[in-house]
A and B are shown apart, each in its own frame.
Chain A
Amino acid sequence: MTESAAVAVDRIAHKPKNDRPRRRIPYAGLGFITVFFLIVVFGQWIAPYDYEYWDMENITQPPVWMTDGSWQHILGTDPLGRDVLSRIIHGARFSLAIALSCLIVYGTIGIILGLTSGFLGGTVDMVIMRICDLWMGLPPIITAILIVSVMGPSSKAIIIYIGISGWPGYTRIVRGECMSVAQNDFIRLARVAGCSNFRIIASHIFPNIVNTLTILVTMDIGGLIILTATLSFLGLGTQPPSPDWGLMMNEGRQYITYAWWLVVFPGVAILFAVLGFNLVGDWLRDILDPKQKLR
């Protein structure tokens, strides 16, 4: 009753073409992700070759539909005779593995710190927030290059870099969520009933923030794939002969004038993978949390 007619009517007027979000299923996005996960799971058996296999008879071969192409190497090969299609397939597993590792690292730190900070409040909260602020002040690229210069470039290095620099963002969001959930009466009831702090956090607060976390995670995977690809492209991350998509594009860069397939296909792979995760992430956000405006 307090909502004015104009606002209510605007909602009617601008209802999406499909009534409920359930029908706005991002088929394309889900398709991309399904393909992605299928590749990840079955990659070993689908890929025609191993990602390191050098087919010395067919180096720098163009894709099958061009002259000199063959069905042996559908998407062509690079100057070392490695099959582009196989490397892209294996690259999917790589990207996912790295993205997940990063998520685990900064997710865990972020969640633990966020819950602590949000739940305990007071000085603990203030201290953690200050550290967050300072940490976020560190320019990202510098930290990356530093870590790499200390550890040497490798996929491990970038996992550590991302893990270390990503947690403040998560901490903030988790803390916010935790604080708003903690306002609820059932938390107070739990305390009165004698539950330990840990128990309250684990079984009462955490399940309520899982929604937000799911959304964050899905939306983050896309960004992580892009980030790791970028770092590998710069030479800071995955090293040859690993089939990281960004690395492949870097390696192929020098041959771009005559062997375009070395650059285009990994790029397309990145596009579809990230697009898939972004679309599904958007959809999840609409379903799970229509009122919140995250990022």
Chain B
Amino acid sequence: MQRYLLKRFLFGVLTIFSTITIVFFVMRGLNPADPTAIMLPPDATPELQQQLKVKFGLDKSLFRQYGIFLKNAVNGDFGESFRYNEPALSLVTERIPATLQLTVTSLFCSVLIGMVVGIISAVKRDSFFDRFGRQLSLIGMAVPSFAIALFLILTFGVMWRIFPISGRGGVSHYILPVISMSLYGIASFIRLSRSSMIEVLKSEYIVMAHIKGVPNRWVILVHGLKNGCIPVITILGLVIPGLVMGSVVIETIFSWPGVGNLVMVSIFARDYPVVQVIVILISILIVLSNLLVDILYAYIDPRIRYQ
């Protein structure tokens, strides 16, 4: 198994690397617009523009720019943001906690609530709870997260002024964004864990466990759950990149000061250093989470370990 994980790790590094490279060249190379043009007023002289270019190292060839970027990156220097006079790295890192606050909570909610409801639905099939849960998850999967966010804002923020609708602050600021972000995930996990558990509970070993006199609760939570959560873990790996997109949307709507908010703004302003940092960050995040999923997988299913 060690070799398997090592292979995945190296592959992850390769992925991060290729992502950074592709993004770098596409952004700086294929882009018609010039960051300096955006930063300056329209009547700026060409000399001024050239000065600015030199300052940001944009006058050199792409490959040289790349080389400089890599060299500096290894030393932890990711340049300065074009828009703010701050190092790009710190600009991004100071926003990370805010984003994590939303995404991690959403992930937990999705998985926990989804699985609990899914398992109960599977065990009490065709009960009122089950049918209600299924309807809910069907609807939850049919609405994009921004629509949920807007509906929530409309009802809880505007019509019945219970929750604040923008900015980061105490718990009440937190609730609407998290619900918006996690609803789709909750719905998906309900569906997934329900169908997975139903399949699992039909297995012979479940009957066998009852025959041995294992109490029902244990049969479901040990025998059933361990097998039933395997597809859930697989999907987890696909859900996490979705959270990235989700955070961009939700942070924009709720004016939440996280990385997602920064992404949109930076790309449209051609703030290359910041974009680079964010891309690296997201890449690392996704690779790490895939690795985590792989490890979890191997931990739960010993058949993988013994390959």
A contacts B directly (C-beta below 8 A):
yes
Looking at the assembled complex, report how far the CB atom of A126 sits from the nearest CB atom of chain B, in whole angstroms. 14
A-B contact number at CB 8 A: 132
Looking at the assembled complex, report how far the CB atom of B275 sits from the nearest CB atom of chain A, in whole angstroms. 8
Task: Count residues of chain A with CB under 8 A from any CB of chain B.
Answer: 43
Q: Does A134 contact B (CB under 8 A)?
A: yes
Q: Select which of A230, A264, A278 is within 8 A of B154 by beta carbon.
A: A264
Q: Does A4 contact B (CB under 8 A)?
A: yes
- Please determine whether A133 and B279 come into contact, CB atoms closer than 8 angstroms: no
Q: Does B65 contact A (CB under 8 A)?
A: no
- Please determine whether B241 and A139 come into contact, CB atoms closer than 8 angstroms: yes
Inside 8 A of A194's CB, which chain B residues have their CB?
A: none
Most buried by B among A10, A142, A293: A142
Inside 8 A of A176's CB, which chain B residues have their CB?
A: none
Q: Which of B10-18, B39-47, B95-103, B173-181 contacts A (4 or more CB under 8 A)?
A: B10-18
Inside 8 A of B31's CB, which chain A residues have their CB?
A: 149-150
Q: Does A85 contact B (CB under 8 A)?
A: no
Inside 8 A of A6's CB, which chain B residues have their CB?
A: 204, 207
Task: Count residues of chain B with CB under 8 A from any CB of chain A.
Answer: 56
- Please determine whether A133 and B11 come into contact, CB atoms closer than 8 angstroms: yes
Q: Which of B18-33 contact A (CB under 8 A)?
A: 18-19, 22-23, 26-27, 30-32
Inside 8 A of B203's CB, which chain A residues have their CB?
A: 7
Q: Which of B265-305 contact A (CB under 8 A)?
A: 267-268, 270, 278-279, 282-283, 286-287
By a beta-carbon cutoff of 8 Å, the part of chain A in contact with chain B is 4, 6-7, 10-11, 14, 17, 133-134, 137-142, 145-146, 149-150, 222, 226, 229-230, 233-235, 246, 249, 253, 256-257, 260, 263-264, 267, 270-272, 274-275, 278-279, 293
12 A–B contacts, CB within 8 A, in A order: A6-B204, A17-B126, A137-B283, A139-B244, A140-B241, A145-B264, A146-B27, A230-B145, A234-B252, A263-B150, A267-B151, A293-B195
By a beta-carbon cutoff of 8 Å, the part of chain B in contact with chain A is 11-12, 14-16, 18-19, 22-23, 26-27, 30-32, 125-126, 138-139, 141-147, 150-151, 153-154, 158, 195, 199, 202-204, 207, 231, 241-242, 244-245, 248-249, 252-253, 263-264, 267-268, 270, 278-279, 282-283, 286-287
4 closest cross-chain pairs (CB), A and B? A137-B15, A275-B142, A274-B142, A267-B147
